[in-house]
Amino acid sequence: MKSILITTILIAILVTPTICNSNTLPKIKVEGKNFVTEAGEVIRLKGVSFSDPDKLEKAGQWNKRYFQEAKNWGCNVVRFAIHPTALNKRGWDAYFKLVDEGVKWAEELEMYVIIDWHSIGNLNTEKWFRPMYNTSWNETVKFWQTVAKRYKGNNTVAVYELYNEPTNDGGKLGEFSWKTWRPTLEKLIDEITPTDDQKVFLVAGMEWGYLLDEVISNPVNRKNVAYCTHPYPQKREKPWEPKWEKDWGHVADKYPILATEFGFMGADERGAHIPCISDESYGEAIIAYFDKKGISYTPWCFDPDWPPTLIKDWNFTPSRQGTFFKTHLQKKN
């Protein structure tokens, strides 16, 4: 009797699905200019960008309540901003346990996850904007191969945002252009696809992840690629829409775009900085433009400390921009 019980337990353990094989949500892929489900239904991803899971755990906020609040705001996707230095300080095994937890909570609440390698700088020259973004080509490959092995077959983890904000910071970080960046992205995708070729590969543009003006003439030559932009208000002056159309918006007529960072704050708000200073007129303009073009989005940041913030405190009181974006996220369209 005892041996039968042990055998039954072992069989149950072996057949119990792990987080890595979760398929509660339909798989998302790129088809033309859209994200689509396996059934061919067009889906727009609309949610919020989280701060770093390590930062949130240290603040006592990496829990299901945090995810539930995002769901309450109307999100169908959340973005994890994984900083290289946080990953290394905590340790890879311990850090990925946090990511596993987050993926599980997102799945339970029927929200997709964008995993973002949150570095800023020039991956080609391996020079970085600030120490917290320090990484290397080899570490970047290791990160994505680790992610691919862990979340292969997991539909909740839908998007691999390959690199947060490529920049040479006005020439300080070495030569950098779309001509040299595009092959790097293709090389990186080639390091991932032998393990997992079923995710959306999200590619950031030039000028701190903003500019996609060369994509149509010279696209990333790989499958399941989408593009992201970070169209903060002070990247361009009013009128915004013609400049957005020229800089990145026209790409949405051919490929999916996901704006993984944007937002606004008043000049008198804590942490106010360029390029984020604006008001609700920007919010109205950017959301209207996204809706017009069918662009997906996750404004920055669902945290009271990292500006421009969407919340004022850990009671999840919306900030000025949070009040605006929460209203639009909760609209069913």
Q: What DSSP assignment string belongs to 63-109? A: SHHHHHHHHHTT-SEEEEEE-HHHHHHH-HHHHHHHHHHHHHHHHHT
* CATH number reported for the structural domain that contains residue 154 in this entry: 3.20.20.80
Asked if residue 53 is part of any domain, the answer here is no
Query: Domain for residue 132, yes or no?
Result: yes
141 in a domain, yes or no? yes
Q: Is residue 42 part of a domain?
A: no
Q: Token pair for residue 195?
A: 């393990």
Please tell me the pTM assigned to this model.
0.93
Coil, helix or strand at residue 244: helix
CA distance 159 to 141: 16
Asked if residue 40 belongs to a domain, the reply is no
Task: Count structural domains, the chain.
Answer: 1
* 3-state secondary structure string across 297-317: ECCECCCCCCCCCCECCCCCC
pLDDT digit string (tens) for the chain, length 333 residues: 444 433 333 333 333 334 456 678 999 999 999 999 999 999 999 999 999 999 999 999 999 999 999 999 999 999 999 999 999 999 999 999 999 999 999 999 999 999 999 999 999 999 999 999 999 999 999 999 999 999 999 999 999 999 999 999 999 999 999 999 999 999 999 999 999 999 999 999 999 999 999 999 999 999 999 999 999 999 999 999 999 999 999 999 999 999 999 999 999 999 999 999 999 999 999 999 999 999 999 999 999 999 999 999 999 999 999 999 999 999 875
Domain that holds residue 325: 59-329
Under 8 Å between Cβ of 119 and 84: yes
Q: Does residue 23 lie in a domain region?
A: no
Tell me the three state secondary structure of residue 61: coil
Q: Which positions ≥6 away from 9 have C-beta within 8 Å?
A: none
